[in-house]
Structure 1
Amino acid sequence: MTTPRVDAGVAPTDAQIAAADAAPGFMPADEAMALYDVARQYLSKDDAVGIGVEIGTYCGKSTVYLGAAAQPLGATVVTIDHHRGSEEHQPGWEYHDTALVDPHTGTLDTSARFRRTMFDAGLEETVIGMLTRSTTAARVWGRPADFVFIDGGHSSEAAQDDLAAWSPWVRLGGALLIHDVFPDPADGGRPPFEIYEKALASGDFTEVGVHGSLRVLERIR
């Protein structure tokens, strides 16, 4: 099952696609467009509240597609990240990028690169960046969201915490989006697949779309 295009005549601008392409990140182009379509679908429903949430910003590659969907609708995307990187971004790991290390602290800091991406994409008035851990942000959050996109830390603890903290905020009829879901362990890590299974097992969500490793679950109760 693949997620259909909401409106084949609507797409991110060339400048937005260029900004996303230039940003460091790990979202394949076809999954990014599927993310755009799904965000636009749920933000434009008659009962939409006009807010989408992204857990895991990094440098804003996927955020561009979410913001591009929200912008013409007058909706808002809130993207949450501590900007110190996940486990795989740390020194000695496969995805460590020395260009993103802050010389003052000696640690990874992707916040400035994220702001550059939003500037280049023309999305500074559409996207709100929260610089904190997702579980900390959840403690002060207080309203339903049309979608929550989980693409943060891929350790078991981080993934489970993101699901527990943020899935309750998906409004009835809204969507829980989970990235890097691989049923075959040979294809990728298990935590995103495990929270995908947990969300379905709760009975609160049903699967309505699949595109690559992106899963779209709609809240039904």
Structure 2
Amino acid sequence: MAAGTEPKPETLAAFEAAKGFMPVHEGLALYAAAAEAGGLGLPLLEVGTYCGRSTLLLADAARQAGTVAVTVDHHRGSEEQQPGWEYHDPQVVDPELGLMDTLPTFRRTLRRAGFEDDVIAIVGRSPQVAKVWNGPVGLVFIDGGHTDEHANGDYEGWAPHLAEGGLLAIHDVIPDPAKGGQAPYRVYLRALASGSFTEVSATDSLRVLRRTAPGI
């Protein structure tokens, strides 16, 4: 059974309260994609958990569809979240190690929203996890590191696992280089150029593509 087109009000409230960067209108578009993809009965996969803001939306859609959300992150923060960078948050630094550690905050986010049983959290680097993943998924949401190395690694690792008819969502697709990094945008163009994807929707920096053919 597919989910509705919008998350439950309590899920949306938890999303807005959670640490993270995705605005509500993009979150609603992501949920709509997850709800549609949930109709395939396959896991909904996210690359880039951070503190679980967008994970809540996937968890809600997965629960309604009778499937599960899977989220992959090493939880040490991406490049722009390190000390001295724009998106650094000292509240998610391990005081003993002096390193970013978003895992405890993420677990609290899930617990407070009541989604612990709907999410499989994998702690590891995306390309390594993708190599040992052994099944199809209905949604791949790429929202990890924003360098070309990391964005391409996420795409190359997970797009082959996306079932035909499944959806590829890419966050932070910014065509204008004056407004932000270009790595997710280049991955978006790469996916379209592969001939395996057609665009479904564009909501600010969130792009949703449907897999229509094998290969990447």
Identity of aligned residues (%): 51
Distance of 1:174 and 1:196 partners within structure 2: 16
Q: How many residue pairs get matched?
A: 211
Structure 1, unaligned stretches of length 5 or more?
Answer: 1-5
Tell me the CA shift for residue 188 of structure 1: 1.6
The one of 186, 189, 196 equivalent to 2:188 is 196
Distance of 2:61 and 2:178 partners within structure 1: 33
Alignment-derived partner of residue 116 in structure 1: 108
Once the two structures are superposed, the pairs formed by residues 125-144 of structure 1 within 5 Å of their partners are 125-144=117-136
Question: Partner amino acid for 1:57?
Answer: T
- Equivalent residue of 1:125, what SS? helix
Query: Is 1:79–1:130's contact at 8 Å kept on the other side of the alignment?
Result: yes
Alignment-derived partner of residue 37 in structure 1: 32
Distance of 1:20 and 1:200 partners within structure 2: 30
Tell me the CA shift for residue 211 of structure 1: 1.1
Once the two structures are superposed, the pairs formed by residues 33-72 of structure 1 within 5 Å of their partners are 33-44=28-39, 48-72=40-64
Alignment-derived partner of residue 173 in structure 2: 181
The one of 146, 151, 155 equivalent to 1:163 is 155
- Equivalent residue of 1:180, what SS? coil
Q: What TM-score, normalized to structure 1?
A: 0.92
- Equivalent residue of 1:171, what SS? strand
Query: Is 1:16–1:120's contact at 8 Å kept on the other side of the alignment?
Result: no
Question: Partner amino acid for 1:23?
Answer: A
What do the CA deviations read for 1:2-41 (whole angstroms, capped 9, x no partner)?
Answer: xxxx845xx3233322322222111010000110111001
Distance of 1:29 and 1:167 partners within structure 2: 26
Q: Greater CA deviation, 97-106 or 17-26? A: 17-26
The one of 173, 196, 219 equivalent to 2:211 is 219
Query: Is 2:42–2:136's contact at 8 Å kept on the other side of the alignment?
Result: no
Distance of 2:14 and 2:100 partners within structure 1: 21
Q: Which runs of 4+ in 1 moved over 6 A?
A: none
What do the CA deviations read for 1:163-192 (whole angstroms, capped 9, x no partner)?
Answer: 111111110011111011111112221000
Distance of 2:130 and 2:34 partners within structure 1: 20
Tell me the CA shift for residue 209 of structure 1: 1.1
The one of 18, 23, 28 equivalent to 1:28 is 23
Alignment-derived partner of residue 97 in structure 2: 105
Q: What TM-score, normalized to structure 2?
A: 0.94
Structure 2, unaligned stretches of length 5 or more?
Answer: none
What do the CA deviations read for 1:101-158 (whole angstroms, capped 9, x no partner)?
Answer: 0112110100010011111111111111100010111121000110100000001110
